[in-house]
Amino acid sequence: NEPQSDKALIPLLQEMGASINVEGDRLIIRGGKTLKGIDIDANDFPDLIPALCVIATQAVGKTHIYNVAQARIKETDRIHSMSAGLSKMGAKIETTHDGMTLWHSTLHGSHVEGFGDHRTVMALCVAGLLASGKTVVSDAEVVNKTFPLFIEEMKLLGANFI
């Protein structure tokens, strides 16, 4: 019942093929499922763009994210920031004025710009976990805006963050 539109991620992941069951206040997630690319009208949840972009690189086929021109006027232009970072990591992406299309990609480590945006930084850190090699994300301190324990929580989950 969270008012944040971020909760839209659960049905999107389910549509992509993820095994996620909601039982009361619990999520039961079963890994090992192959995600498939889908079309996503992201107008109602522009803050999800960074996370959706990373997820899309792991989905078979293509994922088209559209109707989200307002993502260009957030803390940064998130269409640009995610396209720049993920492209540098090897992702195949095409951008438009109001969205982007991403294809399944094998990511490799790189030095990427966080653009001073907490969601871009967190998403690129997760992309680094999926990539081969070392990834360095600039502006990591901006995660303090919304998730000051991000690095510590990721380490508890097994991430090798320095």
- Which residues carry out catalysis? 47
Dihedral angle over CA of 133, 12, 101, 75, nearest 10: -80
Altogether, the residues listed in the chain come to a count of 162
Sheet holding 62-66, edge to edge: 39-41, 62-66, 99-103, 92-96
Neighbours of 132 (CB within 10 A): 11
Whether the Cβ atoms of residue 74 and residue 46 lie closer than 8 Å to each other: yes
Q: Give the pairing type, strands 62-66 and 39-41.
A: parallel
